[in-house]
Amino acid sequence: MRRRTALSTGGALLAGLSAGCLETFRREDAWRELVVDPPEGVYVPPHADGMVTYGTATAGGREIALLATRPHSFWIVADAERNRADIRSRHDVHLMVTVRDTETGTFVPASVRTAIRTRNDGTDASDDTATVDERSLWPMLSQRMGPHYGDNVPLEGDGQYTATIRIGATTTDTIGGVADGLGAETSAEIDFAFETDAIDDIERRLIDKDEGRGEADALEPMDHAVGAENSDKRDRESAAILGRATSGDIEYAATLLDADRARTDRPALAVTARTAHNAYPLPFASLSAAVSRGGDRVASAHLEETIDAMLGHCYRTAVDPSLLDGGDGLAIDLETPPQVARHEGYETAFLEGDSVTVALDA
C-alpha cells in the first residue's frame, strides 16, 4: 500500500488568502474542513506541520527530546470514546516529548509530566512563582512522529524557559538488552527559547486531493519518528515467528520466545501490534490471546505490555509450547484499544475491539 508524501501549499492558494484569513487557518484548524467526511480508519490528513527541537537529554536509561509545533486540536481517547481537545487563545505552543530506551530506541510507555518556568534575569529557578505551566502530557500518536507525549501549552510570551520533564517508572515489563533504570522514576531539565514568530513560521504543507488527501492511507514518518525504525530487522532477528494478521489498520505478529529470551521459567508468546502503514507500536492497549483446536478455544491468557530488546514494544505471556503445537489457530483479541490521544488522520482509527486469527498449522 502506498504512503503519501506531503506536498507544499500551492502559491495560488496562499495568494487567495488575506493575512487575517491565513492567521485564522493557522490558529483555528480551518485546514480540517478540507476533509469533510473522513473514513472510519487511518486516512491522509489535509496538512502536515513541521516542528522545532528545543533540546535533548539522557536520564535513567531514557533518551528524552523536547519538541514543539504550532497549537492544534487533537482527540482524547477514553476506552472506545473520543473527544476533541480544541485549541484556545491562551495556547502558545503544542509541546511534545519523546521518550526512548537508550539501548534500543524503543518507545517507553510511562507517565510524563512537565513543569515550565521562566529563566529571566534575577529569577530564582526554585521559586514557584516562576512556574508558568505544569501538567501531565497525553500519550499521543501522530502519522509523522509516531507515539509520543504532548499537549497545547500556554507560556508568557517570547523569552527563555526551562522545562523540567518528570518521567514515571515504565508501566511495562522489560526483557533482553534494555537499559537499566526504566523501572524507576527520573527527570531531566531542558532550557529553551520560545519565539512566537518561530512557531508561526513553522512549515505547513497542504496535501493535495490528487495526492491522497482524505484517502485510506498515511503520511510518511519523519526521520526521527519513534518506533518505525528497525521494526523489520527486529522481526527477522526474532526466534520463531508464528504468523501475522492484519485487521482494522493494525498488523499483529506473533512470536514464540524461548525461556532464556523471555527471562521466565518457560517460553513466552509475544505479540507486536503496529500500525499497518508505518509500523508504529500501539501502546497502552489491552490484548489477550487464545489457542484454538477444532474451532474451540482451549487456552487463553491476558498479554502484558513489554519492552523487548529484539522485538521492541510488544505484549506477551508465558506459554507452554505444546499448546501451540497442538493448536490450529491463535486468536489475538484487542480488548481495549490503545489509550492514546490521536492527531488528525488517526482519530477514527484503532477505536474498536477486534479479533484476528493466526494459523498455527502451517
| CATH number of the domain encompassing residue 28 | 2.60.40.2480
Q: How far apart are the first and last CA of the chain?
A: 26
Same structural domain, 193 and 235: no
Task: Phi first, then psi: give them for residue 192, nearest 5 degrees.
Answer: -150, 160
CB 62 within 8 A of CB 102: yes
239: in domain: yes
**Do 89 and 130 sit in the same domain of this protein?**
yes
User: Is residue 290 in a domain?
Assistant: yes
pLDDT in tens, 71-80: 999 999 999 9
In a domain, 219, yes or no: no
Low-confidence ranges of the chain (pLDDT < 70): 1-36, 120-129, 224, 227-239, 261-264, 362
Q: What angle do CA 203, 280, 220 make, to 5 degrees?
A: 35
pLDDT for res 335 = 96
**Distance (Å, whole) CA 44 – CA 35:** 9
pLDDT value at residue 284: 98
Amino acid symbol at 206: L
Whole-angstrom distance, CA of residue 100 vs CA of residue 115: 20
- Give a yes or no: residue 5 inside a domain: no
The SS3 assignment for 23 reads: helix
Residue 290 backbone phi and psi in degrees, to 5? -140, 135
Output the pLDDT for position 211.
84
User: Domain boundary residue among 154, 182, 211?
Assistant: 211
Range of the domain at 169: 11-211
Q: Among positive and negative, which fits the CA dihedral 4, 10, 13, 19?
A: positive
Q: What pLDDT was estimated at residue 126?
A: 56
